[in-house]
Structures are given as C-alpha cells and as structure tokens.
Structure 1
Amino acid sequence: MGTPSMHFSESPEDPFALGRGASAVLDDQGTVVGWSARAQELLGYPAKEVIGRAWQGLLVDTRDLAVVRSVALDAVKAGGWFGVLPVRHRDGHRVEMGFRARAVTRDGDRQEWLLVGAPASEVIAWQRDRALLDGLYNRSPIGLVTYGPDRTVIRVNRAVEKASGVPASAPVGHRPREFMVDEDAGPTEERVRHVLETGEPLIFTEQSARARHDPGRDRVVSVSAFRMEDPSGRVLGVAETIEDVTERHRAQRRLALLNEASARIGTSLDVTQTARELAEEVVHGLADYCSVDLLKPVMLGEEPVPGSTGPLLRAALSPPEHRVPHQEGDVVPLLPESPQARCLAERRPILEGLLSLRPEWYAMDRRRIEIALGLGVHSLIAVPLVARGLVLGVVSLWRSRHAEPFEDGDAAVAQELSSRAAVCIDNARRFTQQQSAALTLQRSLLPNAVSDLPAVEVACRYLPASGEPGIGGDWFDVIPLSGARVALVVGDVVGHGIHAAASMGRLRAAARTLASLDLEPDEVVARLDDLVSLLASELEANADGNWSAIEQVLGATCVYAVYDPVSRHCALARAGHPAPVVATPDGQVTVLDLPAGPPLGLGGLPFETYDLDLPEGSLLALYTNGLLEARDGDIDAALENLYGCLSHSADPLDRTCDAVVEALLAKDHRPSDDIALLIARTRVLPPQNVATWQLPLEATAAARARELTTAKLTEWGLTDLAFTTELVASELVTNTYRYAAGPVTLRLIRTHSLICEVSDTSHTSPHLRRALSTDEGGRGLFLVAQLTERWGTRYTHDGKTVWTEQPLPPA
C-alpha cells in the first residue's frame, strides 16, 4: 500500500468555475436571451424552450414567486446578487440552486444580467471549504506552514506569524531558519525533505523550539506534516501544522518528576541520605542548583521545637559546587526577610527573582549574592519542609542554565516534592531517634568496658544489624568469679525489638546470678534452660496473639565458659550455640568439639561440660552466628577467615577483633544480623603468687594455719593484712575441724586482692548467723564477713571451698 498524501480532486472545486456552472443571460425585462448546455443538463430545459421567454414564469414556482421577486429587486438595486434560490425543473420538481447574478451593460446603455448557477449542495460545500481554508490561515490557533517542492515557504497562517514575531508575508520564499529558531534549524528542513521524498506523514512529533522575537524562552511544539499532490500525482509541496504544547509538556515533565521522586526519595531511613536524594531529584528535572537545610535537632534525630527557625545545617547540596559558601554540614545563617526566612515563617513557597531581592538583604549577605550572580542564578524558590505539622527545614531551588525563570507551576511541583520528602525525612528522623534510644538501651544492658582481670585479657565487639526495626538480642558478659577465675558468656535471643531486648536482659542477669553461685557450666546452662521455659510459660499465658515473642525466647542460645588462671583449666557448656574457637600460642586453631545441646527452653537432652587445659596466651573466641553468616552465608569460608585472624595470637586483642570483623564482614556494609564477638587471652598466675598447704584434720590445724598465713604474708610484704588474714584462716579451719571430715586444704592467692580459701571433702554448707549474747559460739563466720570484702562457698565434685577476698593495701 502506498503512503497517504493529499489530492485536490478529493475536495470540491469552485462550482461556478467555467465548465462547471450553469449560465444564463437575461435582458432588462427578464427575458432569457442566453442558455448554456450545463443549464440544460441541470434543469432539463433545452435552449429553444427557454430563449425568448420570461424566466420568472418559466423557472419559478408560484409558491416561490414572492421570494424571487424580492431577491430580484435587491439585485437591481445592488447591481448583483449571490445566494440560493429554489427553481423549477422541467419535470416539475423544485431544485435548490446557488446563483451569482451580475448586471452588465452592452451597446452603451442596454443592461443585461449574467446568471451563473450550481446545485446548492456543491455551493454550500464549496463555501464550507472556503471558510475552513480561511479559518486555517486567519483564525486557527494551530500554526500552518506550506512549503513548495524546493522546501521554501509558500504561505504561513496568522498563528505562525504571531508565534514567530514576523509578518506573514516575510517568510514566503525563504527557508525555515530564516524566520524560526529552534535548537537546530536543520531538523525542520530535514523533516520537510523527508516528507517530500517519501510521502510518509509525520504525526505529533515533539521538538524544542525558539522564536526569533523571543529567543530566551524555550518552547516545545508538536509538528505534523503531509505531502500535497495534484490529481495526477505531481508533488506540490508539504503542509505542516505546528502546535505549541509547552505547557502540556511541562505538566507531563512535572508529573514524571513526581513519579520518579516517589520511587527515589526515601530509599533509606537516614536523614542526610534522604535530603541528598531530594536535592538530586530536584536538580535532575526542575532546577540547576538545590540546597536542603535542616534544623539542627532534625539532623540529630530529635524533634524540633514548634515554631523554631534555627539554627539550620546544610544537609545536602546538588551539584556540589565548591564556590558556594556553605557546604554539607555547615551552619547556614537565616537572614531576616530572606526568601528562606519568609517561607519558614509563612510556611509556604516563596518564588522570586534574585535581582528583585530587597537591597538590605543584599547588603547583609553580599558575598552569597555575588557568588549566586557569578553562577548566573536569576531566580529561586524557597519551600519549607513540613511534616505532621512540624517545620523541619527549607529547600532552596536556583536556576541559572535554564533561561526561563521559575513559574507558579514549578513552585507547586517543588512544594509537592518537598512535602513528600518531608515525610520521608521525618520518618528517618524518628527512626534515628528510636534507633539511638534502642541502642542506648541495649548498650546499657551489655557490660561496660571490661576491667583488667588476673585470669584473662578481653576484647569485644558488638555490631547491630542494618535496617532492623529495633534492638537485637545478642549479648555477652565477662563475670569475675572466686579464686581469681572468670566466666565468659555469649548468648543470642532470636529476633529484634523490645521482647528480644527484655529477654536478653533477663538472661544476662540470670547468668550473672548463677555465676555468683560458682556452679559448673552445665548446671548454669541447665538453670538458664529452666528460666527460659518459665518465661515462655508466662508469655504464653499473656500472649494475646504475640507468638513471635515466645518463639524468640524459646530460640535463645548461649555458651558459658569458666577459666581458672591457677590450674589453666577451662570448662565449657553450650545450648545450641556455635562452638568456641581456641588458638594456642603455637599457631594451632581449632573449633572445640563440645556437645551442642538444645537451644534454651526446648528441653529433652541434658547439657554436658567440656574440660580442657589451655596454655598461657591462648585465645578463646566466643561469638554469635551472625559473625559466620555476615558475608554470604558460607560457614566454612567464614571459619577459615576466622582461623586466619586468630592464628596471630600474639597480636593486640583489639587489632585481632578488628581483623575478624574486617575479614568476615563485607566492606562498608552492615550485617543483616546482630553480631557479638568476645575474644579472651588466657593468663596464668605466677607460682610465687599462690601458696597451697594440706593440713591434717586435728586440733592443732587452726594454729598451723595461722603460722603458715603469717609467714607467707610476711614474705609477700603484706604484713598489714597478717592479723586479719590469720584470724580468717583460723576461723575457717576451725569450722572445718568441727563439721567436716578428711584432709583440709588452705590456699592463699595474691592478685588484685588477697584471696584465702579453705577446702574440705564435706558438702555441708556453712551459714552466717547472729549469735545471742548468751551463746558460747556461732560468731566465726560473722567475724569473717565483717573482716573481709567478700566471702562465699563454692561446691565441687569432691567437696566445697569457703573463700574470702580482701583488698590489697595501697602500694
């Protein structure tokens, strides 16, 4: 099929043209003196029947006679007439005919009338086409340009004349570039050439354009073009319609900008990042420069004071222009009567040109204005950021490269963008506030900086998960025990939120309480298991549909270890937790093969204690599963990386912790799960700081204990503690002699404090009581409690040990 083009044969021709119209000649008496063949064809009368007869009696029906006579009188008066009249056909029916009548003078004074007629339908169609053509060229709001085969202008209509600013006759015979300016006149001429050569029409092709009389204003026009041909197919030129669709294009662009901004603003719960996204979107489609200035409390995640207008901090600037005086993070002064101050006070957009600002404002911030003018800035919009009734800051939009100043439509779009962004910024602010409070709560539940312990050197790391709505349940603790020992514990409560934090706090407190009882690791874990079962029962009774809280408690895991720096013995037990890793000073790294046990609260299997001796300087690493799953979930690869970091056991522990985090976590990426890491380097007490004696269970045991204690404290230079310590040792040995059986062991340990221990084979627990004034005994343990800082009893498989601690005197 061929391409469509316009043929003139498709439109009616002039019905009164020679050869198309019916013609007749009347004398001044109304007698027909001339009759054409076309008249015979249309009305059926041959010339011989018409010529010589009065036309009114022959051609006019009696019903129309009055109208015809009235028209005839008007024609005589005017010397001519044009219109439609009914005439009678030879067969008697009426025919509507259009007539042109004109008086002509012959032979000096004789007057005749020339009538040219055509069917009324053709006359009306012809008039309609003439009216349409006249409308297209003189009244149409859509531009029309016709080009000849040489691509020069044949004619333009009034709309093009108005848009181009040049008279309609000026472009005739010229090329488009000589009267219209677009981004490149070449596309217009290329478009005309293409339509001429191919005959393919162009339909609603949009392009940017500028008029010569207003070259500073960008416009968008919609162009359609088609080729004109005569009935024989000869190409006559191109007709092109041009419609100014600038406002529609801007509205579409603004709508597209809003749609894109909805997807690109607020992708994170970070105040600064959200502000940057807003600035980038505004520069992308609306302004040349954009700055986002927020109230200082908003930047800190706090709620701004209602009515506050400062101080402002620059949260984002796009593009980052180094010549602009205020960069991101700077304090931005809010000048009185400035557009920014006015928009914050009035809580509405302020639109104005920079050069129209008040002189006093220019004087107050001369450098800022001069910099803006140097960048070519000519107009600005200041829009307040308002969300939930709170003013958060202000957005400033600047134009320089865009030739056109901001319009009211731009201000409306800027306000819509700012309103959407303000909600995102406020959400990020609230999240920052809640996250800060949650992390503060969690850190308050975790131990503070671990003091120097005689048993171990400790370093730890806690990394909260990214994007989680609240705090997590990972925890760790370092608990000093009697006899210079230490307990290390790491646990993990499933999930995040208040329930996880509350469960974590309860488990940590319970672990500390159980540790103070000097229980074996498997007993501590078993009693934590009982506690979790009890918590789950309480939550189930008050669940109200919140089964996730119960699942969090029941899914808790932990590992508990006790290390003795005197014997180098380490005992561990775990409940569904990742096994600890041990690195010895010779570079060997292994995962301890201690029984896993079920998670806390599930019950079913017993917990077991795993025992081993650790060389001095060994590293014991306890962690939660988030550490091994942080990068890509490859547990084996993560363990290999962990082995490599721990193999350098002599490195400082803080450096080792950092190396582990760097090796197992993706760079610049927060983990998807909370991570708790605890690394301890074992120490061994020097033999000269520990004294142990076996005493026979006889009446002289107390006296022997006093002698040995005094001699050892004198050797250690602790004579100030000799009297108190020999009294304590005497009372403890005396109790053993009275109530226990088997040998008695006395041990003194000098660390950060002086520890005195008396062990026997009995499991009978001594009780502190207040003796009455009439009692002969019962004051021994009361004296011990008064003379020492701490005391207690711990049980072993072979018996018990009563211990005391006294602070060392200042050096």
Structure 2
Amino acid sequence: MQADAHADSPPPLDLAVLAALLDGTVAGVGVLDTRLRYLYVNPALERLNGIPAAEHLGRTVSDVLPYVDAREDMMRAVLADGKPREITSSGFTPAASGTTRRYWHGAYHRLEVEGQVVGVAGIVLEVMASDKEQRELEQARRHLNLLDSAVTRIGTTLDMDATCAELVDLVVPALADIATAEVFPPDVAPPVRPAPPGMLRLRRAALAAVPGLREEMAEFGLTGEYIDYQDGAAVQRCLATNQPVVQNLTGDDLLGRSAASPGRVAAYRALGMHSSVIVPIAVRSRPLGVLGLVRAGDSPAFSDEDVVVARELAGRAAVGLDHARRYAHEHTIALELQRSLLSEPRPPHPHIEIATRYLPADRSVMVGGDWFDVIPLRDGRHLKAIGDVMGHGVEAAVAMSHYRSLLRLLADDELPPHRILEHLDRMVERSGLDRAATCLLAVVDRFGGMCEVASAGHLPPVFIDPGEAGTRVGDVRAGPPLGTGFGGYTTTAVEVGPDTVLFMYTDGLVERRDEDIDVSVRRLEQLTLPVSGSLDDLLDEVLERFGPGAEDDIAVLASRKRTRNRIGKESG
C-alpha cells in the first residue's frame, strides 16, 4: 500500500512500480521519506508487524512499533551519507504473541530520484535468536523473577528456621535441584556434644529438593541435624574467606575433600550430584551460616550469573536471619532471667499445700512479667500474691523482680491486703519504676475459715470446693493497677472451707481476642478437682485445657490447707 505524494515533497517515487515489484516478495519491505515516515509497506512487512499497512503510512517506525529497537539513528545516517547499512534489531510487536521477543535482520539503502534524496528503503527478514542468546535471556528472566520474589517471600517471620525454609523453597527448582540452609548453633542453646577437633559444626535449618530426589534425601541429611564439616571442606573454605565456593564434582577425590566427611561421598553420588555452590550467609561480615546449592542429573553446571544471584538471595536472607537470631537470643535471655527471678515459693507452713506453674507463650511473643509468691506471716497465716507487669521483654522481667522484692519488704503481719497494696503503690511511684502492674493478694488464716482478698487491677481468684459445693469466682472489687498512684484498694472477706482450693492466675490463661474477658473468666467455674486430688494434677489439667492458643505468658498458683487425711496419705 502506498501514500499520496505531496506537492512540496521531493520528486515522487513511482510507488505503483514498487508495489508491482515488491508486493509478492517474502521479505518485508518498507519505504520511508526523509522524515522517516512510511510511504509504502508491502504485504510481507504488514504480516511481520501484525499491523495493517494503512496504519503505517504517514507515521514513523517508533510511532507504529514503540517496543521495537528500530535504530532510527542508523536510518538517518543512511540518508546523510548514502552508505547502505545492515543491522539486527529486536523487540515486541502485535503479531503472534505480543509477549515474545522477536529478532529481525534488515538492510537499509538510500533512495534518490533525479539526483535528489527522497527516502530510505528497508528490507527486513525475521531471524531467530541463537540458542545461546535464548538460554541467556531465559536465565536472566528466571534470575530477575527470583530476586523480585525474594522481597516478599524471605524474612516474613522472626523465626530462623522459617526464614531458612523460605530461602530454600524459593531457590528450588528455579536455581538448584537441592538446597540447604545451615546455621551456627545458637549461643544460648549449644548442642549437647562438642564438635570433634578441627571440625566445624552447623545445624541444618532447612532442606528442599526437586520431587525426583526427595526420597533419597534421608542419606543426604535431615532438617534439624547437626553436621560436622571436616577441615578443607567447601563449607569451611567458604566461611573462612566469606566468598562463594563453586565446584564441579567430577571425581570422588574432589568430592571426598569437599564433602562434610568422607562417609557422605556415597550418598552424594547416589543423588547424582555433579555441581555445587556454597554461599556464605553473613551480615556485616559476620557469618551466620551457609546456603548450599546442588545440581544433579541432567541439570547444567552453575554459571557465574547463578552464583551472583545466589549470593544476592543469601544476603537478603541474612538480614532476616540476623533479626531472628537477635530476637531469639534476647527472648531466651529474658525467659531465663524471668525463670531465675521467679523462684518456686516454699510452703509457708507444713500444713499448707502449694502448687505453681509458669508457661511462657509461643516464641513469637516476647516474654512477659508474670510472677507469683507466697510469704509466711505470724500465727500460721500466709500471704499469697500473683501479678503481671505490663509490657514484655527483659525490662518487664526486671520490673517484676522489683515488685516482688518490694512486696516481701512491705508484707506486714498487722496489715490487711488492701493496706499492703496502698503502700506498694506509693513505694513503686517513688522508686521511679515506669511499668505498671496488676496484683492480687490473698491472706489465708490456717486456723480460720476466712480468706481476705484485695486486687490491684487483677482478675478475681477462683475457689474450688470439693464435692457438690462446686467452683465459684470470687466477687472481688479490683482497684487501679500498681504504679499509677491512684490507690483506692479494698479488702474482701471470702468464706472458705477446710478443703477449699484457692486458684490464682494471670490473664494469659483466659484472655482471648475473640471472647469477652468476663465470659472467659466464667469458664473457670467449670474447674473441678481431679480424681487424684493432687494440686499438681489440677494445674496440669488447667494448662492442658486453657493453655493452647494463649497469646501471653501464664502463671498459675493453687493452694489449700492440708488435712490430716492427706498428710497421712503423703506420709504413708
């Protein structure tokens, strides 16, 4: 198809003659004017571009094919000096699939009429990219997809093993047939047995393999296993230099030197592995572990580009692992600190039975400031306390220790529970503690039938009576939490029987996001003494029933008067 000539244009081409000559050729031919606007497009070029010929005319190549590298600068050079040029270009066109890159080889010549330059003619043939180019393009596309996916798929939690699993699941099968992520054992929980001299110990945190190799993975090593790497192994060399180690494992000698131990060579060979890459997982030059990639069977050896991508992925995972490791370290220290401060209270009197439990929440939640204590008073009485410092972490555990120490200092034989809370509230305010706490106090008279209870923002106690008497939640007025300086506490007297169990707890036992706290507390009225009658069995059953799904730490305390029958049974 051809465009009309303009009066002010150079001498016109005889486009009819061109059409007669070129419409039947299999090569795509286009004629452009001196401003690189289409004058003529033959049917072959129309089919190549996937655009009707009429939509070409009067428009430039970049207008018609914006996603093709048409090299209009080269065409201008042909117009300027008259030297023919050949070039290979590529891009995307509406023809066939618009998402597949296509390649064309074109020859461009200047056209003259009566000695004047009137345009340029391009003769274009579609060519296929070489196999090597296609493989490189496909590899680059896979690599870009991997790096893009890593942003959202690695480091989604503060759990080291979960982060390692995300890493190996991402690279298999896109980058490797087998992938392992191994980390140094945590400082706060060292393995039981030491590594042999000269060996490097890592813990396999995650493992992934393509379906065809999963059944053989047991011989390769399992998740959670500690692996000792011999001196000179690829992993040792990688960590020593903080650089990737790439190996084509063509012989058993090389494989034996590079493996964790010579005994693993047979297992590696059984998998058909022939190439490996060990990449350091490090942050701020501090090694955290290694990413191991293996290819087996018909998979190609690792390329330099593969190694670059593997290192980038390992670097991204290292950031998440560093955060998770710091969190795990601080969480464990806080937990151990809390346990050391939360020493088991001794029974205040031989005739008083005490049982306690402390259950930390799931590791995704930081340790809290839950605490309990039992303080003996004169005349066979004793003070029971349970509390919860607001907040989490080491600071909450330390504040809990301060509260516990102040309470022991202020506990007085002559003061009712609400007076003790008032003194404690003022003392906390003066001490500068910036963490409020709830607290429940109960003074029990061993010889009488009364229990005096006072609450500073804490949940009420539960009284479990044997037999048909049943279980009841104490009707106790709760004052403000300690550390607020508001005061206003009251003591409530509750009648108890000789075998009544006093059950005290922190809110982690009953507090749930989808349930009103009053409803949760009322569920405790379903508690009954176990057949054994043991307080320890009671608390075990309570935690088994109410502990799952807890989002905060749980502390529970149960106590009662020892009767002569129970004393006799325990003595016997």
Q: Same fold (TM over 0.5)?
A: yes
- Check 1:317–1:452 CA distance in 2 against 1; reply closer, same or farther (3 A cut): farther
The correspondence for 1:354, drawn from 226, 242, 249, is 249
Counterpart of 2:503 in structure 1 is 621
Counterpart of 1:679 in structure 2 is 558
Cα shift at 1:532: 3.0
Cα shift at 1:637: 4.5
In the alignment, is the contact (CA less than 8 A) between 1:385 and 1:422 conserved in 2? Answer: yes
Counterpart of 1:646 in structure 2 is 528
Matches within 5 A, 1:54-65: none
- Check 1:120–1:263 CA distance in 2 against 1; reply closer, same or farther (3 A cut): closer
Cα shift at 1:589: 0.7
Deviations 1:733-777 (A, max 9, x none): xxxxxxxxxxxxxxxxxxx9xxxxxxxxxxxxxxxxxxxxxxxxx
In the alignment, is the contact (CA less than 8 A) between 2:2 and 2:15 conserved in 1? Answer: no
Cα shift at 1:339: 2.5
Structure 2 counterpart of 1:509, one-letter code: S
- Check 1:204–1:661 CA distance in 2 against 1; reply closer, same or farther (3 A cut): same
Cα shift at 1:617: 2.7
Cα shift at 1:604: 5.4
- Check 1:408–1:451 CA distance in 2 against 1; reply closer, same or farther (3 A cut): farther
In the alignment, is the contact (CA less than 8 A) between 1:566 and 1:685 conserved in 2? Answer: no
Counterpart of 1:591 in structure 2 is 473
Cα shift at 1:592: 1.0
Deviations 1:603-624 (A, max 9, x none): 5564222223422332211112
In the alignment, is the contact (CA less than 8 A) between 2:199 and 2:230 conserved in 1? Answer: no
The correspondence for 2:443, drawn from 550, 562, 587, is 562
In the alignment, is the contact (CA less than 8 A) between 1:475 and 1:492 conserved in 2? Answer: yes
The whole-number CA distance in structure 1 between the counterparts of 2:233 and 2:262 is: 13
Q: Structure 1 stretch 558-567 or stretch 671-680: which is displaced more?
A: 671-680
Structure 2 counterpart of 1:311, one-letter code: R
The correspondence for 2:423, drawn from 499, 511, 527, is 527
Q: Structure 1 stretch 379-388 or stretch 439-448: which is displaced more?
A: 439-448
Cα shift at 1:448: 2.6
Tell me the SS of whatever aligns to 1:510: helix
- Check 1:600–1:299 CA distance in 2 against 1; reply closer, same or farther (3 A cut): closer
Deviations 1:642-693 (A, max 9, x none): 2223354854223322322232233xx4x3233222122332579x99xxxx
Structure 1 counterpart of 2:310, one-letter code: A
Cα shift at 1:415: 0.7
Counterpart of 1:203 in structure 2 is 97
Cα shift at 1:95: 8.3
In the alignment, is the contact (CA less than 8 A) between 1:487 and 1:560 conserved in 2? Answer: yes
- Check 1:95–1:521 CA distance in 2 against 1; reply closer, same or farther (3 A cut): closer
Counterpart of 1:257 in structure 2 is 146
- Check 1:415–1:360 CA distance in 2 against 1; reply closer, same or farther (3 A cut): closer
Query: 1:475 and 2:371 equivalent?
Result: yes
Counterpart of 2:136 in structure 1 is 247
Question: How many residues matched?
Answer: 466
TM-score (norm 2): 0.71
The whole-number CA distance in structure 2 between the counterparts of 1:568 and 1:402 is: 82
The whole-number CA distance in structure 1 between the counterparts of 2:332 and 2:466 is: 40
In the alignment, is the contact (CA less than 8 A) between 1:565 and 1:684 conserved in 2? Answer: no
In the alignment, is the contact (CA less than 8 A) between 1:585 and 1:650 conserved in 2? Answer: no
- Check 1:434–1:285 CA distance in 2 against 1; reply closer, same or farther (3 A cut): same
Cα shift at 1:260: 2.1
Larger Rg: 1
Counterpart of 2:87 in structure 1 is none
Cα shift at 1:441: 1.8
Percent of aligned positions with the same letter in both sequences?
A: 35
Structure 1 counterpart of 2:208, one-letter code: S
Higher relative contact order structure (alpha carbons within 8 Å, sequence separation ≥ 6): 2
In the alignment, is the contact (CA less than 8 A) between 1:621 and 1:679 conserved in 2? Answer: yes
Structure 2 counterpart of 1:527, one-letter code: H
Cα shift at 1:371: 2.2
Structure 1 counterpart of 2:335, one-letter code: L
Cα shift at 1:596: 2.0
Counterpart of 2:455 in structure 1 is 574
In the alignment, is the contact (CA less than 8 A) between 1:223 and 1:240 conserved in 2? Answer: yes
Structure 1 counterpart of 2:304, one-letter code: D
Cα shift at 1:509: 0.9
The whole-number CA distance in structure 1 between the counterparts of 2:513 and 2:15 is: 88
Counterpart of 2:405 in structure 1 is 509
TM-score (norm 1): 0.51
Tell me the SS of whatever aligns to 1:311: strand
Cα shift at 1:124: 13
Structure 2 counterpart of 1:634, one-letter code: D
Counterpart of 2:295 in structure 1 is 399
Tell me the SS of whatever aligns to 2:200: coil
Backbone CA RMSD of aligned residues:
4.1
The whole-number CA distance in structure 2 between the counterparts of 1:534 and 1:281 is: 55
Counterpart of 1:443 in structure 2 is 339
In the alignment, is the contact (CA less than 8 A) between 2:274 and 2:297 conserved in 1? Answer: no
Matches within 5 A, 1:598-747: 598-602=480-484, 606-630=488-512, 632-648=514-530, 651-666=533-548, 669=549, 671-684=550-563
Matches within 5 A, 1:260-299: 260-297=149-186
Tell me the SS of whatever aligns to 2:299: coil
The whole-number CA distance in structure 1 between the counterparts of 2:444 and 2:161 is: 47
Cα shift at 1:559: 0.9
The correspondence for 2:320, drawn from 424, 437, 448, is 424
Counterpart of 1:706 in structure 2 is none
Cα shift at 1:561: 0.7
Matches within 5 A, 1:123-142: none
- Check 1:391–1:407 CA distance in 2 against 1; reply closer, same or farther (3 A cut): same
Q: Which runs of 5+ in 1 are unaligned?
A: 1-9, 13-93, 97-117, 135-143, 148-199, 207-220, 225-238, 303-307, 540-548, 690-751, 753-811
The whole-number CA distance in structure 2 between the counterparts of 1:643 and 1:482 is: 32
Cα shift at 1:411: 0.9
The whole-number CA distance in structure 2 between the counterparts of 1:402 and 1:482 is: 83
The whole-number CA distance in structure 2 between the counterparts of 1:417 and 1:597 is: 54
The correspondence for 1:318, drawn from 184, 189, 208, is 208
Counterpart of 2:55 in structure 1 is none
- Check 1:464–1:363 CA distance in 2 against 1; reply closer, same or farther (3 A cut): closer
- Check 1:312–1:342 CA distance in 2 against 1; reply closer, same or farther (3 A cut): same
Matches within 5 A, 1:6-155: 10=1
Deviations 1:479-525 (A, max 9, x none): 22233332110112222245433432222111112225452212211
